[in-house]
């Protein structure tokens, strides 16, 4: 009879754990991700906002901190929802995945307004010594330099969806950029080439986080790997 509880324990099905990490962008606080987090919680996801001092801590250091967090949490499956430079943090996590030993399955990533190939805005400001001083270590990481800028980070092998902000005309929110843009990011500079799906929303770089359409897109992609009308 004493063996019965033990046998019942081993007969129970194993339940996989899944976790969504929301990663804010350059100069963000994490509060701007709260609407998406609350909506994910209501939709049944286990979500957490990962914060880091983006004006003092470079992308790789932030990614290491995120990896240590994931190691401590030990989820079986990981999802990332990123805004702006948060996409680079998620990509840099791949630097820290061990060749052997425990590591989670990184299933899907939703990148909102990601500077995957950098932004001309960073190219402009990085030329100023004062801007480099005030902007912290990540300003060079946001440039379009193919060897030292945003494109130098690993390209994830997870199913990836892009949500990109546009104005919807020949000119974007930033009139100094030659193409349509969200004020900081030109769509072509967000595309890595391995995306499973992408969608455009009329919104600014920061304002896109507060669009109900953005929230619906995030939830749908995390569930299905596609955006709603695909």
pLDDT score at 16: 67
Which positions ≥6 away from 105 have C-beta within 8 Å? 76, 77, 78
Alpha carbon 145 to chain centroid, angstroms: 20
pLDDT in tens, 129-176: 999 999 999 999 999 999 999 999 999 999 999 999 999 988 999 999
pLDDT score at 20: 98
- Which domains are seen in the chain, by residue range? 18-224 (3.40.50.1820)
Spans in the chain with pLDDT lower than 50: 1, 4, 6-13
pLDDT score at 8: 47
């Amino acid at each position: 009879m004493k063996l019965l509880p033990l046998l019942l324990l081993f007969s129970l099905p194993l339940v996989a754990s899944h976790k969504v990490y929301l990663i804010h962008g350059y100069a963000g606080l994490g509060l701007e991700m709260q609407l998406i987090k609350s909506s994910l919680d209501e939709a049944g996801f286990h979500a957490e906002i990962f914060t880091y001092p983006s004006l003092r801590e470079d992308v790789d250091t932030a990614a290491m901190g995120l990896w240590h967090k994931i190691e401590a949490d030990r989820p079986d499956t990981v999802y990332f929802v990123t805004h702006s430079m948060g996409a680079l943090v998620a990509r840099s996590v791949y630097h820290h995945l061990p060749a052997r030993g425990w590591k989670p399955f990184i299933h899907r990533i939703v990148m909102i307004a990601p500077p995957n190939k950098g932004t001309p805005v960073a190219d402009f400001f990085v030329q100023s010594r004062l801007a480099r001083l005030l902007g912290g270590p990540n300003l060079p990481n946001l440039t379009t330099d193919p060897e030292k800028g945003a494109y130098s980070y690993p390209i994830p092998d997870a199913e990836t969806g892009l949500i990109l902000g546009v104005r919807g005309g020949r000119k974007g929110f930033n009139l100094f950029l030659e193409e349509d843009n969200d004020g900081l990011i030109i769509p072509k500079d967000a595309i890595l080439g391995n995306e499973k799906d992408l969608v455009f929303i009329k919104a600014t770089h920061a304002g896109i986080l507060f669009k109900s359409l953005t929230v619906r897109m995030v939830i749908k992609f995390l569930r299905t790997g596609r955006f709603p009308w695909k």
